[in-house]
């Protein structure tokens, strides 16, 4: 089975759309965001082609103080980068209910990071994005998650395509870490002094990060 190059698939779509469109001419992309650093490059890249609703939906993040810190940092970045002022990005916050994450993770608490538990966490967040994208009649939906070298881009895109069929909204394929995307996100994080968290967000990833520090 040939491995799909999701960045090339994205290049085909953006090539058909073209650049230098007026904001009202651009397709509407409903973009799930996990945090400011991951969103930084993705927004820089995609605002050339899409009018974006940026959807912060991450019930996996605990404690709530960490959740609030990340959302405020994302809102600050959108503001300071000028995306709101130019009308390129509209921000939307989803419901914050960690119970739905813990319900999803039942029976998988002892699995390691990057296991099937992470697959279901991707799906939990992307499903809500697909639902909201359908409600808003967006042209596409996708997530910033694939920019991380710690995230499985194949899983993310497989979930996206399945949800696209289920909800009737096109999924925008992505592997944002490609073409220097991850490195650019680091540079933008330094430029805007963004808070870069040291764990994905859930209690399991936090424990794994703490264990790694302890063992170093």
CA distance 47 to 83: 8
pLDDT tens by residue, 141-169: 999 999 999 999 999 999 999 999 999 99
Question: pTM to 2 decimals?
Answer: 0.96
pLDDT tens by residue, 126-139: 999 999 999 999 99
What's the average model confidence in pLDDT over 55-63?
A: 97
3-state class (DSSP) for residue 138: coil
Question: Could you tell me the domains of the chain?
Answer: 24-215 (3.40.50.620)
Check pLDDT > 60 for residue 12: yes
Q: Residue 43's CB: how many other CB atoms inside 10 A?
A: 25
pLDDT of residue 211: 84
pLDDT of residue 208: 87
Strands (E), 98-182: 140-143, 170-171
What's the average model confidence in pLDDT over 96-106?
A: 97
Check pLDDT > 70 for residue 1: no
What's the average model confidence in pLDDT over 10-21?
A: 95
pLDDT tens by residue, 78-91: 999 999 999 999 99
Check pLDDT > 90 for residue 39: yes
pLDDT of residue 210: 86
Per the listing, tokens 């991951």 go with: 38
Dihedral angle computed from the Cα positions of residues 198, 61, 210 and 181, in that order, rounded to the nearest 10 degrees: -30
pLDDT of residue 216: 58
């Amino acid at each position: 089975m040939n491995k799909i190059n999701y960045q090339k698939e994205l290049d085909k779509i953006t090539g058909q759309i073209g650049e230098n469109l007026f904001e009202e001419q651009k397709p509407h992309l409903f973009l799930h965001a996990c945090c400011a650093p991951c969103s930084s490059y993705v927004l820089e890249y995609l605002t050339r082609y899409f009018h974006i609703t940026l959807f912060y939906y991450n019930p996996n993040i605990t404690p709530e103080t960490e959740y609030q810190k990340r959302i405020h940092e994302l809102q600050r970045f959108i503001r300071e980068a000028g995306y709101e002022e130019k009308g390129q990005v509209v921000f939307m916050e989803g419901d914050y209910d960690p119970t739905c994450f813990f319900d999803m993770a039942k029976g998988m608490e002892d699995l390691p990071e990057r296991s099937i538990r992470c697959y279901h966490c991707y799906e939990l967040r992307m499903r809500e994005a697909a639902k909201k994208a359908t409600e808003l009649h967006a042209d596409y939906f996708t997530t910033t998650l694939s920019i991380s070298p710690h995230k499985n881009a194949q899983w993310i895109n497989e979930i996206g395509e399945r949800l696209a069929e289920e909800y009737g909204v096109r999924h925008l394929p992505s592997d944002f870490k490609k073409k220097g995307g991850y490195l650019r996100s680091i540079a933008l994080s330094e430029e805007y002094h963004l808070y870069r968290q040291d764990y994905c967000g859930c209690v399991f990833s936090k424990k794994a990060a703490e264990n790694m520090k302890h063992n170093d």
